[in-house]
Structure 1
Amino acid sequence: MFSPVPIFSIRRAGSVDQFRSPRDNISIALIDFGDLRAGPAGKFVSSRKASSHSELYGLGDVKSAFELGGFIEYFPVDWFRVRNETRQGFGGHQGVVSDFSADFIVPVTRAITISAGPRFTWESAKAVAPYFSVDAVQAMATGLPVFDAKGGAHSVGVGAQVKYRINPQWEVHSYVEYDRLLGDAAKSPLVTARGSVNQTTVGIGASYSFDFKIR
């Protein structure tokens, strides 16, 4: 599936341009000590339409969801960052999602930066069930067995990113993120019979930096 994603970041003039991972969601650092930052975070999860993919036939639609919560990240050294986002869902799911990530950041040259590190996601039952459970009606429509998905460890993986700064204004980057589903998400008949526990995301992007004043 191809999906465009906006890139937007704002910071004070003269401040350090902090490292950002493709896994980072919308966030604002209300607490900022340089190496330690924290604040609110949010994510939009698009709806899942049964008509969009043959694998979803008979499973019904899942509405769009908004996840609101907070993040905290820490740089024990300049070249290493750990981050957690924990968010509560509203809409398509009513559960809790907690993402953990770590990134090793290596400036190869003044223009090229490579980063990579492990990923882990935990989700509550109310976050997993809408996407991986199969109720009695859905089982009759699909031929899949009834399955009541519970929460817990949801996925583990690794991600890597390459950034190239063309000049002070323009930057291009590419990334790859791999996740392996765990727990009931991996055991769901939707995955075992029609999908895969291995999930890969590849992206390319570009961003333009500019200054503005607020009077």
Structure 2
Amino acid sequence: MKTMRGEILGAVALCAAIRSVEASPIDLSNALPNFIGGGIGSTTEYAGGKDRIVGVVPGMRYVTSGGHLLEWYGTYAQYNFGDLAGFQWGPALALRLGRRNVDDPVVSQVHSVDTTLEGGGFVGYEYSHVGDIPYRLRGEVTVVTNADAVYSGARISLNTSAWFPIHQRMFVGGGLGATWVSAGFNETYYGVTAEDAARSGLPVYTPGGGLNQVTGWLAAIYQINPSWYAGAMIYYQRISGDAAGSPIVTQRGTRNQLTYGVGIAYAFR
């Protein structure tokens, strides 16, 4: 069975958008709505590949009675013990999907990678500006590891976002990000062992750690009515550092990874 990459999260266009936009069409200082929804999108079959797949993923946002925030977007979930606007922090979980039975006949001869659960935490800050041109800014750093279950070491991600209203019912947003990884991570997902080389014909490659990718995205969200939202997103990743030098990428795939999708969600109080 083919596996979807963790980055299919970008396909939940509405879910990623509604986490930074308000229930009110203009006043960004109001409380975010709770919501449940999902999206459908297209992405590459694995990180660094060029064959594409289509996937469907869920999303949810819920504020507890104690004022804590649970967010779940596709393969990623976090629980915020901090403020809804201001300093934020808490645990994070991510399901990193593997690479198995892929379409590429050469990469299919490279060692398979199992799906693994990553755990860690995040810290961040969210700012909401109220005025003639309201906007919302958000930035956070997330650190996760899988405790050597599939790879050794950890991943560190920095992500930023900004949202602006362009109409009473329309918002646009964008963001930039970067990810640093351990050598063990790159060896698992981008390395080619001597056994892999003998089977596939690719050269042996042992990457180190460091910058793994840079990302950018653009999205739009439309409020259909007080309860329903629809959105669309395009998400770009450029594989960097030692990962970009892997023959899995240079000979069989591409550094430029594009994910796009649409979504819909139901908001409730």
Structure 2 length-normalised TM: 0.71
Q: Where does residue 146 of structure 2 map in the other structure?
A: 89
User: 1:99 corresponds to which letter in structure 2?
Assistant: S
Secondary structure of the structure 2 residue equivalent to 1:32: coil
- 1:117-163 deviation per Cα after TM superposition (whole angstroms, max 9, x unaligned): 21111111111111100010110111111100111000112111111
Task: Give me the whole-angstrom Cα distance separating, in 2, the residues matched to 1:194 and 1:140.
Answer: 16
What residue in structure 2 maps to residue 46 of structure 1?
A: 97
SS of the counterpart of 1:184? helix
**2:225 aligned with 1:173, yes or no?**
no
Question: Unpaired segments of 5 or more residues in structure 2?
Answer: 1-52, 130-135
Which whole-Å CA distance do the structure 1 matches of 2:242 and 2:250 have between them? 11
Rate the CA distance shift 1:157–1:98 in 2: closer, same or farther, 3 A.
same
Instruction: Give, as a single letter, the amino acid of the residue that structure 1 aligns with 2:213.
Output: S
**Structure 1 residues 76, 170: CA separation in 2 closer, same or farther (over 3 Å shift)?**
closer
Question: 1:58 is aligned with what amino acid?
Answer: Q
Amino acid across the alignment from 1:95? G
Which of 204, 210, 215 is 2:262 aligned to? 204
SS of 1:138's partner is helix
- Asked if 1:66 is matched to 2:123, the reply is no
Greater CA drift, 22-31 or 83-92: 22-31
For the 8 Å contact 1:121–1:156, the answer to whether it is kept is yes
* Cα distance in 2 between the residues matched to 1:23 and 1:5: 5
SS of the residue 2:59 aligns to: coil
Instruction: Give the 3-state SS of the residue equivalent to 1:80 in structure 2.
Output: strand
3-state SS in 2 of match to 1:4: strand
Q: How far does the alpha carbon of each residue in 1:3-40 deviate from its partner, in whole angstroms, 9 at most, with x for none?
A: 21111111147x7x99x897993111012262121111
| Preserved contact between residue 140 and residue 159 of structure 2 (Cα < 8 Å) | yes
Return the alpha-carbon distance in structure 2 between the equivalents of residues 23 and 177 of structure 1. Answer: 14
Q: Which residue of 2 aligns with 1:129?
A: 187
In structure 2, the CA distance between the partners of 1:148 and 1:62, relative to structure 1 (3 Å rule), is same
Alpha-carbon distance in 1 for matches of 2:221, 2:184: 36
Q: Which residue of 1 aligns with 2:78?
A: 27
- Worse-superposed segment, 120-129 or 187-196: 120-129
Structure 1 counterpart of 2:119, one-letter code: L
CA contact (8 A) 1:119 1:159 kept: no
Partner residue, 2:206: 148
Contact 2:176 2:215 in 1 (8 A): yes
TM norm structure 1: 0.88
Q: In 2, distance between residues paired with 1:169 and 1:103?
A: 24
Quick one: distance in 2 between partners of 1:94 and 1:167? Answer: 47
Partner of 2:54: 2
- Residue aligned with 1:209, SS: strand
| Structure 1 residues 208 and 104: CA distance shift in structure 2, 3 A | same
Q: How many residues align?
A: 210
Mapped to 2, the partners of 1:51 and 1:41 lie a distance apart of 29
Output the CA distance in 1 between the equivalents of 2:97 and 2:54: 13
Q: Contact 2:179–2:214 (CA<8 Å) still a contact in 1? A: yes
Cα separation, 1, equivalents of 2:258 and 2:82: 33
* Distance of 2:228 and 2:153 partners within structure 1: 38
Gaps of 5+ in 1: none
For 1:5, the aligned partner's letter is V
1:155 is paired with a residue whose SS is strand
Distance in 1 (alpha carbons) for counterparts of 2:75 and 2:190: 24
Change (3 A) 1:164 1:87: same
Instruction: Decide which moves more: 93-102 or 75-84.
Output: 75-84
SS in 1 for 2:80: coil
Return the offset for 1:113.
1.2
Deviates more, 1:63-72 or 1:24-33: 24-33
